[in-house]
Structure 1
Amino acid sequence: MDRIDEFNKKLAQLDRSDPIQIQAMIDLIGEWLEDKTNAAEIQAHLTAVRTHLWLDFWELTKDSQSLENTTNHLATLIESYRLIYEDIRAIERVFNIFGAIYTTSKDSQTLEMAVYWGTNYYDFATIDFPNYIENTNNLADVLRERYSLRGEAEDLSQSIELFEETLELTPEGDDSRPMLLNNLAGVLRESYSLRGKTEDLDKSIKLLEEALELTPEGDEARSMLVNNLTLALGDRYDLIGKVEDLDQGIELLEEALAVSPEGDKYRTLLLNRLADVLRESYSLRGKTEDLDQSIELFEETLELTPEGDQVWHVLLTNLAITLRDRYALRGMAQDLDQSIKLVEEAVTMTPEGHEDRPAILDELALTLRDRYVLRGKAEDLDKSIELLEEALKLTPEATVNRHRLLDNLANALRDRYALRAKAQDLDQSIELFEEALALTLEGDIDRPGSLNNLALALRDSFELGGKIQDLDRSIELFEEALVLTPERKIVRPMLLNNLALALGDRYALRGKAEDLDKRIELNEEALRLTSEGDKDRPMLLNNLAVALEDCYVYSTIDDDAIKAREYYQLAIELLIDGHIQKPKFQRNLGHFSMRMGDYSNALEAYEGMAANLEMLRSASPSKQDREKLLSDYSYGFANLVFCCLKLNQPEKALRYAEGAKSRALVDALHNQVTDISNLATQDDSLKANLKELQKLQHEINWLLKQLGAGDENISWMDPNTARFKRSPDEINADLRDKRAKEQELWQMLEKRAPVFAMTVSAPPFYLQDAVALADEENATLINYYQHSQGWVAFVVHKSELNIAELQGVEELLEHYQSAFSNLHSPFGKKLLSSVLEEAWQVLIQPLKKWLPAEGSNLVIAPFAGLHHLPFAAFTNPTDGSYLVDRFHLKEATSLGTLKAMRTQAQIGAESHANAHAMTVVGYADKPSSPSYLPAVEDEVNAISNLFHLPHPLIGQAAMIENVLTQAPGSQSLHFACHGMFDPQEPQRSGLMLEDGWLTVRDVLTRMNLSGTELVVMSACLSSLTKISQGEELTGLLTAFISARAKSVVGSLWSVDDRSTAELMVRFYELISQGWERSAALREAQLSIRKQPQWGHPYYWSPFLLTGVG
């Protein structure tokens, strides 16, 4: 005992504020502990004291070794369960140390240590330990923190149990009771957010009310309790729409702020919360003073909060949300721009894994979607969808507000469907809306919105597929949403509008006057409930105008027509130029004015439509989106051209007709070449995707070759091989899957790779441009167009513009289609001869007085189905001569395209290390194949000999990669092979090579032919293009134009092998003698035609030339 007495004496004299003394005592205890003669209880006592001294030393010096010594020692004791009272007190101290460190560091590993030591303390301590209640409360708190970080429900449940235990152990009247009530209320509110149990929320509110009642006036804790209580009341208001909860929250917050001194640390909390509740009140009642006060309070909160504070990102987001609300109310773009700026800053301040990140991503997505609607920038919509998908991934399945994210993502996908018309976006949108509705409880304040959203998507589905059950369900859902929406609710006008639109659809389908009358009634009510300046007011005015126009058609009451015009004009006036809805409303006014016979007002409206569409197209970097815009408004352009002609404004008619033809192609020629050949080395982030894409393309080509190799093509097959040969159905299924994945990868690439971005729009095409083009080409220009009332031809000869109306064009196209379908039969060839005479009478004879002298040049720009007609073979029924006999012909996808090609031709070609005169590619297929082309080898050899080319890419050398490598450096590029045109997916059309198909997409994305003067496709169907509603052409011909080839030759149908070979050889002989390309092609056609066996146009006329030279 002498040693113990000595030890206790030294311990009593120890200055615990002196780390040197503490370290000396630790060393002394270490020496004594080495004495194995000590009794076990003495050893344990000495060890426990040393543990506390280590902790004292750490608190003074923050020496990590002393803390590590402590934790290692205690962990050993815990494993052996050999703990005395002082050891448990040491565990308590370690727990509180890690808890304190985590409070400042927010380090997840430190939190894990705090949970570990707190749990061990709780396991070994008993309720009679000093500070047991406080430590149990602290353990509950760190478990709650870990739940917030990891989202594991077990942590939350344990936290609730511990908070309940501390409350039970705390006597009534204890000063700590209000805070313990608050803590339990907080985790119960989180449990409600996770599991959606309303009893958790109700109990949370009850506990907070009790805590507030126990807290005296003037106590600073009241501010925090008021804030927390109003948050819980807000949750219940969101759940069941109980207005009393909202009003109670406002009252409590205003009272708390009235007694809160300027320096109160909770003042900013109360200001922020009151601003939030007033915003909710505005959403309910539409009182603009609530919204304005909310914005002022959020701004004051930000001013009082140091920048970079841990809640800074939340305050930025809250202000952003209210500014977006004010934008929705008053339509001021500066509010929306500021909102986006604030929430973008909030996102940058919110780290990955932070619990607030999904909500802030959601808000940024919503603001970007609003800006898309305002300004039409498709990248805003794409970014919005990307952010919402990220937010949804970060949100646990059981989260109470998950349905809102689902709704928001579904709405953005629905917008993208409206932009790009991809049915999968609409299908996914409906699935997400259905899921959101299933998660929305009966009585939930969000339920009307979820019903409305699903109804809108079903209405879209009806318009797409025509299923009446989609429309009927849509109407039912709109009606249910309206029943659940209070009269004063700010969203009610939109619900009324949406139901009105669906009833209008049903009226159009079934013609029931009561549906139309109800529609007008709902439209008028929606407009009445909408304040001046509301961003939705223009849309409501437009929709009411549409309904009144329908009513006028039905009843011929002039008052309906007068009101319809007035509302259309008001709707247009309220929108800024460039708003995504403005061209739609202008088109509607144009249609109405035409219906009324008012062509002057119709022309004004349609010209406004065209101007705003140009603004929207210029704002979009996506070729696909630009095409879609013109496609959606093609009928508006057709009406615009008709109005110009009706009002005798031919120059405008030409300008707008050109404005509606091949615009995306013309724009592409004004932008950089899309060449991803080197993209992988320039952008590592896309490398893996590009590699996977190329792998898929090889697999697709292999599957296509398998499909092409039928059993009849193989003389003998090894039985073992035959056993493993796949069926065509199986191969086709695999092919569909791989093509779907390929398409998905392309869409990703086109969105992410800057090389695809279109930053420039082509200027308008005026009459002076046409006159200049005619002069440069030394040609007369013929531009065909179909307006809304028929067909016309614009003829530019020298400086004059003349216009001819054409009759019988649609019948001609029908007759040509019949002939085209039977071309390889004697009947088909005879029918073609008849159709070619008809084509002369319909398309050439009406222009005869404006055509130049024989031997002159004609440049022809077809429209729609005319692109597929062989103009060279149009036959004069009087003397049997062909158009090619009289004129040198060149075709253009549009006059604007030819102008852009001429401009590109004047730009110096990019230098290329592999520059050479010509690349000749020939692939005849396997000799055993029925589709073998025996004349291909002769054609390739003759052309190669003519230009002294030692190594043509023929047979097995005609590989896709070989072509992609050699083509960009070639002045001329010749293909002799099979061609394939896919009208459903024209980007898959291609030229058959040894290892697969060189597709339209390959040419568009992997060939830079800016140094190539001529591309010739001596292949079937190589000039055919898919023609969209917006007169955009997609096929091999336009692909090579986009790749910057100066001129391109291709064919309109499956050509004869031998006559084609001879025609091509003759064409190149003339080229080698210095002939111009158009003249050389004409002479080669005339030469082939003179041979009796090839005199019919089938053999010589399908080839056409477009471009320069």
Structure 2
Amino acid sequence: MNQPRRQAYLTLIESLLTWDSDEQTAILQANLELLDDDFAEYLREWATETLPNFDADKAKNRAQILYNLNNAFSSLQQGSRRSNIEIAIACLDIGLTIFTRAAYSEKWAINQNSLGAAYSRRMKGDKGDNLETAIKFYEAALQVRTRQAFPEDWAMTQNNLAIAYYSRIKGDKGENLERAIKFYEAALQVYTRQPFPENWAMIQKNLAATYTKRIKGDRGDNLERAIKFYEAALQVRTRAAFPENWADTQNNLATAYSQRIKGDKDENIERALAFYEAALQVRTREAFPENWADTQNNLGEAYRNRIKGDKGDNLERAIAFYEAALQVRTRAAFPQDWADTQNNLAIAYYSRIKGDKGDNLERAIAFYEAALQVRTREAFPEKWADTQNNLAAAYRNRIKGDKGDNLERAIAFYEAALQVRTHEAFPEKWADTQNNLANAYFDRIKGDRGENIERAIKCYEVALEFRTPTTLPLYCLQTGRNLGNLGWRESLWETAIFGYEKAIEAVEQTREWVTSQTRKRQIIEENLNIYEKMMQSCINHQQYHKAVQTVERSKSRYLVELFTNSEIYPKTATDTEKQQLQNLRRQIATSQQLLETETPSPLPLSPPLTKGGPGGVPDDSPSQRTTQTRSLSPESFQQQKAKLETTLQQLAQLLEQIKQREPEFSLTQKVEPIDITQFQQTLNTETAIVEWYIGGGGHGGTAPTGGFAFIITRDSIKPLTYTTTEIAELETWKNNYLDEYRDKNTNQTWQNTLSQKLEKLSEILRLNEIIAHISPNCKQLILVPHRYLHLFPLHALPFTSETRFKQKTNFRGYLLDGFPAGVKYAPSLQLLQLVKNRITTRNSPPPNQQQLFALQNPTEDLFNADMEVETIKTRFNPHQILLKKQATKTALNDNRENLSNTSYLHFSCHGVFNFDNPLLSSLVLADSLEPTLEINPPQPPLSKGGLEENTFAEGGLEGDRLETKRYVTLRSGRKAIPEKCLTLREIFAELQLPQCNLVTLSACETGLTDSTAMTDEYIGLPSGFLYAGSMNVVSSLWAVDDFATAILMIKFYQELPDADSVALALNAAQNWMRGVSEEDFRVWVRLLNLDKKSGQSVELWLASSSEEQPFREPKYWAAFCATGY
């Protein structure tokens, strides 16, 4: 320090002492080159020489000016922050030579508090020691600042002491954070929102930060509390009133969302990005360079973990943000922040997709080693351990160098990290490193292989003690999958089952936290490989019950949850409130489902990397998803959205009323997986079930995986495994089947070759082998298809058997021939069980009093529908028919009370399945047709679907795909308005059939479901009517012949009174129809006493057929199937 420099220091001091506090900041900014550590030293010398010469008043004045200067230096953003803080400390130390506790106790306490704040921020010296010093100063201040004497000052120091414990390095981290929370809560005893809104908001924000870091308690719950505290702070910290504080809270709220466990991970990160970008509107580099750099670093973190968008591009953006942060976060100015960003930049290069992988890993290692120059174990033990963990991950995956040596170094780094990352001090990070260490031991080349595997298993298992499905589902998913994969590769099936089961529980927990039904389905799709490996592991270990349970768990559980939660009511609710609840939640569920299919789908959930650094390597990369086209016009979409918002408000108001009486009431409940052993006990000894699983290619990829068929009886489960080759063959068959059916140019070929196609499907599914596993004593068969198998008439598959019938040594026939008590369908075992449970609550009227409600030929262009309904209704008394023009939507709504008492509901009309949006699938009613000027009279339709372009193609809608698609086009050329049809959405939301035994959908394609989903999403008209309350639904799988359908329906209802089940009556009608000769058919028709018009229709149809058995081909009788109990 030369003499000119000393003179410059003196001149600056005299200027600062002369000018008032408003001018001091400007003086400091004009003399930044003088503000260094030497200035702090000179300031102390000056005070020692000068202050003793002042009288008491002047000395007090100088001490007060120095206190003000402390504030100026502490808040100065320009120059060296390190030196600014040292000068502030010097100002306060000097002030304490005047402001002694004896002479000026209050000002002494103020300086003690300020020194605590300065040492909390101090960069010079050991960080841990500085924080201990800060705590001592705060505690000293509280000797004077008692709650009784100085409540506001006491509260402020409580807050500051909390901040010091939040940052404390020494002592137990968990205990430090608990003490911080207690100090904040103490401060809030004084700093209430009124009359201290600013301080109240500040402590809300500080509490949020502490809960974000909290170790004790449930991690997910802690983060939810943090978010609530931040949101509370923003009620006061508005951008208009407190822009800097607003930006600070936006930044912190973003961090909480980026770490959030509950909710959908990709949505949380997108919200975090939005909050960070909002913060940067205020946190500019020019105005707040340090804060700007903080948010740049945080944006890097968010983009590094981002799920939406291209992963490679996200990582490049993350690197750019980190590099921007380092423009301010230099080692000289901010060594700790510099080291943090070096660590983060290393993680980004570790994960980087672009560039050479080997070079990226070398750069990552270099950045980690740079961070360790500051992050020493002595100064920053927790961060040192973080970087040790990360460096281990880099060496584990290192390409350059010897693989064996790299793995040994990785293990050494992980074990070093565990010296600090103990279960007691940092349980979450301890679990992370245990998971990573397990990965390293599993990969290890040196040492005994068996011992390495044992150590890997042990590390995974102890990690899962903390990484539970309910508290850390994403990390539990990672470790569970890793452990399962280890067991899978080593043929340790118990280990594989344990790991995969944990992973599946984690998937289900994540799914439960997500509100979007679309996202719920995607979460299962993204992890289907876990379910499939779990099934195979269970089969290999002969745990067949668990294998079948896993099939059920792999399915979309939307319907199961709807069925289950529809029965939940508050104990204190009145009948009116129960009815309101039922109506509102049904409307909400269907409106949400409808709107979700109109909104672009989010990208898949990627398996998380190990917190603090990669370590767990996922099995497969998730696939990208495309957006969906809209099926609603923009106006209809907005109307539905507004309707949903109104319904949600109504539900919230109703729940608020109920919760005042019954606070513990929850509208929904977690649906537990089905207990297969218990389910088997509900079966009789003469029933068998075949449930299929068609592999989905892991994460939704196109490459098929294998599949399974499970033959389930009361006493046994027998699995049959399909190879990937067989499933590939099935996929090819399926595509050819649907392509021929969809194309009107090849549809006739499809009809003519349907028998051969079904023969081939039977061969692919190895139906003969399945039947061989079923005892001849089984009289009833229940089929549970999977995915696109729902689209095919499995009951009409041919088979041969030497053992099925004792009296026939070489039987050949259709599947429905092999089971005298009938063949029926169920969407899933769990739904079958739920429908069966309705029996206990039903008080059905006696058979002779059961009512029929029918809708007959609403569009008046199905000439045989009249013959069908007129004949069927004679078997019911009472019956009610909405005939032709009477069968409007208004009339149907007006008859809701009658429908609630109906035992049999029959629709004889047009039907359409909408593949773009299944909830818009419709039954076409009267008055739904647009008026049209007919130049040529319409020709009689060949099918009851009435669609010119059949509905497999683009949801049954013809014309330009850019149109809003608000019409269903009939074969006559006329268009039906969906708003005037009965849609599946309305069936789910509004229709109630509490006494209904059977709904018959005598229309086209009414049994179809979405065949493209990777999960088993059984959303179609049958599921809607089952949900509405019907025990059984009869529906069709293709565009059916109008005349043949009328005949089948008439015969079906003839069989129904004497049959033990709906399925048996339908099977009997189908068997009769395919075998009846023309002569016997004519005899049968005469007994019907048809009117003249119907008689002519019979003759016309028979004249067009040259077959002795006119209905022999499956296209006439096989389309209809019975679903339900």
Q: Tell me if both proteins adopt one fold, taking TM over 0.5 as the criterion.
A: yes
Deviations 1:167-213 (A, max 9, x none): xxxx9958556556656875887785xxxx56899769856754663
CA gap 1:792/1:428 in 2 versus in 1, 3 angstroms: closer
1:531 aligns with 2:422: yes
Give distance in 2, aligned partners of 1:1040 and 1:502.
56
How far the C-alpha of 1:933 sits from its partner, in A, is: 7.3
More helix by share: 1
Describe how 1:305-704 pairs up with structure 2 within 5 A.
306-309=189-192, 310=196, 311=199, 314=202, 318=206, 321-322=209-210, 325=213, 327=215, 332-333=216-217, 351-353=235-237, 373=261, 377-378=262-263, 397-398=282-283, 400=288, 401=291, 441-443=327-329, 480=367, 483-484=370-371, 486-488=374-376, 489=380, 490-491=382-383, 493-494=385-386, 497=389, 523=414, 526-527=417-418, 530-533=421-424, 534=426, 535-551=428-444, 557-558=449-450, 560-576=452-468, 578-579=470-471, 580=473, 581-582=475-476, 584-607=478-501, 627=521, 630-631=524-525, 633-661=527-555, 663-672=557-566
Deviations 1:456-483 (A, max 9, x none): 7999996xxxx78999989967965774
- Equivalent residue number for residue 977 of structure 2: 995
Amino acid at match of 1:834: Q
Give distance in 2, aligned partners of 1:865 and 1:897.
18
Number of residue pairs the alignment of both structures matches? 871
SS at match of 2:1063: helix
- Equivalent residue number for residue 815 of structure 1: 733
How far the C-alpha of 1:903 sits from its partner, in A, is: 0.9
- Equivalent residue number for residue 277 of structure 1: 164
- Equivalent residue number for residue 51 of structure 1: none
- Equivalent residue number for residue 261 of structure 1: 143
Q: Relative contact order (alpha carbons < 8 A, sep ≥ 6): 1 or 2 greater?
A: 2
- Equivalent residue number for residue 1063 of structure 2: 1078
Give distance in 2, aligned partners of 1:407 and 1:1006.
51
Describe how 1:297-312 pairs up with structure 2 within 5 A.
299=182, 303=186, 306-309=189-192, 310=196, 311=199
SS at match of 2:1035: strand
TM-score, length-normalised on structure 1?
0.63
SS at match of 1:569: helix
SS at match of 2:167: helix
Which of 885, 892, 900 is the aligned partner of 2:834? 900
Describe how 1:907-926 pairs up with structure 2 within 5 A.
907-908=841-842, 917-918=852-853, 920=855
Give distance in 2, aligned partners of 1:574 and 1:640.
22
Give distance in 2, aligned partners of 1:937 and 1:305.
77
Give distance in 2, aligned partners of 1:199 and 1:312.
32
- Equivalent residue number for residue 572 of structure 2: none
Deviations 1:72-113 (A, max 9, x none): xxxxxxxxxxxxxxxxxxxxxxxxxxxxxxxxxxxxxxxxxx
More deviation in 588-597 or 380-389?
Answer: 380-389
CA gap 1:864/1:573 in 2 versus in 1, 3 angstroms: same
Whichever of the two has the greater Rg, that structure is: 1
Are the aligned partners of 1:459 and 1:471 in contact in 2 as well (CA < 8 Å)? no
Amino acid at match of 1:213: I
CA gap 1:336/1:874 in 2 versus in 1, 3 angstroms: closer
SS at match of 1:288: coil
Give distance in 1, aligned partners of 2:589 and 2:468.
45
Are the aligned partners of 2:158 and 2:184 in contact in 1 as well (CA < 8 Å)? yes
Deviations 1:810-836 (A, max 9, x none): 234432432332134454446543342
How far the C-alpha of 1:902 sits from its partner, in A, is: 1.0
CA gap 1:181/1:962 in 2 versus in 1, 3 angstroms: farther
CA gap 1:297/1:876 in 2 versus in 1, 3 angstroms: closer
Which of 907, 922, 930 is the aligned partner of 1:974? 907
- Equivalent residue number for residue 1033 of structure 1: 1018
How far the C-alpha of 1:511 sits from its partner, in A, is: 13
SS at match of 1:1105: strand
Gaps of 5+ in 1: 1-132, 142-170, 702-730
1:288 aligns with 2:171: yes
Give distance in 1, aligned partners of 2:898 and 2:296.
48
1:213 aligns with 2:97: no
Give distance in 2, aligned partners of 1:845 and 1:820.
24
CA gap 1:398/1:308 in 2 versus in 1, 3 angstroms: closer
Are the aligned partners of 2:708 and 2:719 in contact in 1 as well (CA < 8 Å)? yes
Are the aligned partners of 1:816 and 1:835 in contact in 2 as well (CA < 8 Å)? no
SS at match of 1:333: coil
Q: RMSD of the alignment, in Å?
A: 6.1
How far the C-alpha of 1:398 sits from its partner, in A, is: 3.0
Give distance in 2, aligned partners of 1:505 and 1:383.
29
Give distance in 2, aligned partners of 1:738 and 1:498.
52
Deviations 1:752-790 (A, max 9, x none): 967996314145323342231346xx6322233468995
Deviations 1:426-463 (A, max 9, x none): 9999989977985775316557767877997999996x
SS at match of 1:918: strand
1:885 aligns with 2:817: yes
CA gap 1:668/1:211 in 2 versus in 1, 3 angstroms: same
- Equivalent residue number for residue 1095 of structure 1: 1112
More deviation in 1037-1046 or 207-216?
Answer: 207-216
Which of 768, 775, 795 is the aligned partner of 2:711? 795
Are the aligned partners of 1:317 and 1:360 in contact in 2 as well (CA < 8 Å)? yes
SS at match of 1:783: strand
Give distance in 1, aligned partners of 2:1059 and 2:478.
53
Which of 675, 682, 689 is the aligned partner of 1:765? 675
How far the C-alpha of 1:872 sits from its partner, in A, is: 1.8
Which of 687, 691, 714 is the aligned partner of 1:779? 687
Deviations 1:884-939 (A, max 9, x none): 2333210112222211111134335999xxx9853538676xx9xxxx97767876
Are the aligned partners of 2:855 and 2:887 in contact in 1 as well (CA < 8 Å)? no
Give distance in 1, aligned partners of 2:358 and 2:918.
33
Which of 741, 757, 760 is the aligned partner of 1:838? 760
Are the aligned partners of 1:1009 and 1:1043 in contact in 2 as well (CA < 8 Å)? yes
CA gap 1:461/1:853 in 2 versus in 1, 3 angstroms: farther
CA gap 1:881/1:1066 in 2 versus in 1, 3 angstroms: same
Give distance in 1, aligned partners of 2:115 and 2:792.
76
How far the C-alpha of 1:1035 sits from its partner, in A, is: 3.9
Are the aligned partners of 1:451 and 1:477 in contact in 2 as well (CA < 8 Å)? no
Deviations 1:260-303 (A, max 9, x none): 63455446544543442353352xxxx43577457547646755
Are the aligned partners of 1:673 and 1:1042 in contact in 2 as well (CA < 8 Å)? no
Give distance in 2, aligned partners of 1:919 and 1:136.
92
How far the C-alpha of 1:1045 sits from its partner, in A, is: 3.5
Identity of aligned residues (%): 19
Amino acid at match of 1:1103: F
CA gap 1:365/1:647 in 2 versus in 1, 3 angstroms: same
- Equivalent residue number for residue 882 of structure 2: 951
Are the aligned partners of 1:873 and 1:883 in contact in 2 as well (CA < 8 Å)? yes
CA gap 1:846/1:797 in 2 versus in 1, 3 angstroms: same
Deviations 1:1062-1084 (A, max 9, x none): 54455456558888422332244
More deviation in 869-878 or 474-483?
Answer: 474-483
Give distance in 1, aligned partners of 2:580 and 2:512.
27
How far the C-alpha of 1:491 sits from its partner, in A, is: 3.9
Amino acid at match of 1:836: L
CA gap 1:230/1:883 in 2 versus in 1, 3 angstroms: same
- Equivalent residue number for residue 1019 of structure 1: 1004
Give distance in 2, aligned partners of 1:607 and 1:600.
10
